[in-house]
Amino acid sequence: MANFIRNQFGRLDILVNNAGVLGSGVKAEDRKNFRYSVEDITGPNAVSQKKFVNQTYEITVSCLRTNYYGTKHLTEALIPILEQSSSARIVNVSSTLGKLKFIPNEKAKKELGDVDGLTEEKVEKLVEDFLEDVKNDLVETKHWPPLFSAYIVSKAALNAYTRMLAKKYPKIATNAVCPGYTSTDINDSTGIFTVEEAARGPVMLAVMPDHQRPSGCFFFQTEMSTF
């Protein structure tokens, strides 16, 4: 892909990383009982909702490969041609669930929130430790999120990677954005926002005028938020 874009166009102006999977499967017979709201996934109801969800090691690996590693590897391949643009943008479609406040593991929260000390090696190690804990059935013992842990950790890692990219490549405006609770197949069409409404944030960041463009920030739809 990188060679094709380079040969055909010479540069890349905008990269939107939108691919994502949930990393957990709600059992078909329980979908009518499951609640997808942030409060139900991260609050007191999270543990009681676990019985409705399949959260295996294999599904977790697939989620991290798509949501974090896939985005990271594609972005790294395209950075050289993004640098050929005078107004390059990277938009990482993330989630509110990836906010640090939803990571109960204090060590992970501290490392992901240390923007000045963030390194790819630290994030990679954190993701590897999480996968090892999933493999050994230590998710709750090690204080990872009990519900949708793969999705939450993958988006938290993506947010950290966004901040690292913004710092490493200051000429490329790099931001993360949560499109909101959107009605799609990933949540059995229970979302409150349409696809068109959800697209406003990513599109805004992709085409924002140069003199206004932020970098290293997190947005909820079109409003700047916190990591």
CATH classification at residue 155: 3.40.50.720
Q: How high does pLDDT run on average in the chain?
A: 94
Q: Please name the residues in contact with 85: beta carbons below 8 A apart, sequence gap of 6 or more.
A: 11, 12, 13
pLDDT of 190 higher than 80: no
Of 169, 168, 171, 187, nearest in space to 179 by CA: 187
**What are the DSSP E strand ranges found in 115-210?**
173-178
pTM reported for the whole predicted model: 0.93
Residue 48 corresponds to which tokens in the numbers above? 């009681």
CB atoms within 10 A of CB 44: 8
Range of the domain at 132: 2-225
The residue annotated as part of the active site, out of 57, 151, 161, 169, is 151
- pLDDT category, 97, cuts 50, 70, 90? very high
Q: Please name the residues in contact with 163: beta carbons below 8 A apart, sequence gap of 6 or more.
A: 115, 118, 216, 227
Model pLDDT, residue 37: 82
Of 153, 49, 63, nearest in space to 99 by CA: 153
Amino acid at 83: E
Indicate if 151 belongs to the active site.
yes
Mean pLDDT of 216-224: 98
CB atoms within 10 A of CB 155: 27
pLDDT of 28 higher than 90: no
**What are the DSSP E strand ranges found in 2-61?**
14-17, 25-26, 53-54
Count of structural domains within the chain: 1
Cα–Cα distance for residue pair 195/184, rounded to 1 Å? 8
Residue 99: Cβ-neighbour burial (10 angstroms; 0-12, 13-18, 19+): buried
pLDDT of 60 higher than 90: yes
Cα–Cα distance for residue pair 193/221, rounded to 1 Å? 11
Model pLDDT, residue 182: 87
Amino acid at 48: S
Model pLDDT, residue 189: 75
